[in-house]
Structure 1
């Protein structure tokens, strides 16, 4: 299961993140679009070394090597310029991910390990951000089997099983974690439901 950081600073954020990792969080996407290079470096520095391998960097990619991070995420805009990125950013990169907003864009991807496809439901974290089309219908035309399809947008404990049943490979949580009074409790609930579904498919 993937968790995306809140865009803004959260009280006790690093403590919460460490608790999520302790409970089995597999990947943390650090998305802080307004952070300066210094602010990003200070934020990453607070994350324990043992968890750095589970961190995915959305911006200031050049900091990755200094902090032992080898997972990078590229926005839709960056993806279109990816060929212009210096090789030194990509060579040590163990995993590359990106964001898409249509099945057509997802199907056209090459050389990405996984991609967010959003929004699946009305966003919890963004106002007036909701799907214009039924993505569950759209993903029936999936052709790209090399890239993992990760659902994003409006995902919580009430709909996470449906998402997995409908064909998504994984889920990314954002609003349901950071808009909740108890982020850890909500994460564990979503994790439990996803795990139970996964075990039922074996």
Structure 2
């Protein structure tokens, strides 16, 4: 299970991230589109060295090596057609249809496919098609599919049963009163699946 950062800075964020890792979070995507290079460095540094191997940078990829981050993510709008992938790096991207997902190169370890359900964090961001039907047309089995968009404890089991390899949480963590409780509820379902 993956958690994606809130796009903007929020209070108590680093403490919440630490608490998520302490409860078994595997991967944390640092998606701060408006962060400068310096802000990104400061944010990653604040998370701490002990979690560096579990961080994924969405921007300022040039900082990855210096920061000791071995995972990078390309938004769909900024995905290169081809690139030289280092064996040491894990690379992910975002997609919004099974057609887009199916044509990804084998260089991508996994890809978000969204939105599966109406988004919790983005107003009026709803599925244009039924991704559960679309995923039946999956031909790319070298890249893992990660469901994103409206994912919660209420729909994780269904999402995994319908063919997604993993799930990612954003709004269910950051747009809630109790992010840790929500994470634990979701994690329990993923681990029991």
TM range (shorter): over 0.9
In the alignment, structure 1 residue 167 sits paired with structure 2 residue 163:
yes
How many residue pairs get aligned? The number is 192
Aligned counterparts of 1:31 and 1:123: Cα–Cα separation in 2: 16
Whole-Å separation in 2 of the counterparts to 1:61 and 1:49: 17
Structure 1: distance between partners of 2:93 and 2:46? 25
Q: What TM-score do you get using the length of structure 2 for normalisation?
A: 0.96
Contact 1:72 1:93 in 2 (8 A): no
Report SS of the residue matched to 1:186: helix
Task: Specify every segment of 5 or more residues in structure 1 that has no aligned partner in the other structure, as ranges.
Answer: 198-202
What are the residue-to-residue correspondences of 1:11-160 with 2, within 5 Å?
Answer: 11-79=11-79, 81-83=80-82, 90-91=85-86, 93-110=88-105, 111-160=107-156
Mapped to 1, the partners of 2:91 and 2:115 lie a distance apart of: 20
- Cα deviation digits, residues 111-158 of structure 1 (max 9, x gap): 100000000000000000000111100100100110000000000111
Gaps of 5+ in 2: none
**Cα drift, residue 99 of structure 1:** 0.3
**SS, match of residue 46 in structure 1:** helix
User: Is 1:183–2:179 an aligned residue pair?
Assistant: yes
The Cα of 1:93 is off from its aligned counterpart by 4.7
Post-superposition offset of 1:91: 3.0
How large is the RMSD of aligned CA atoms in angstroms? 1.2
Q: Which residue of 2 aligns with 1:200?
A: none
8 Å CA contact 1:70, 1:92 repeated in 2: no
Post-superposition Cα deviations, 1:78-123, rounded to whole Å, max 9, x if no partner, equal 21x353x6x5xx4375200000000001000111000000000000
TM-score, normalisation: structure 1: 0.92
User: Is residue 195 of structure 1 aligned with residue 164 of structure 2?
Assistant: no
Aligned counterparts of 1:99 and 1:155: Cα–Cα separation in 2: 16
- State the alpha-carbon separation in 2 of the partners of residues 92 and 67 from structure 1: 18
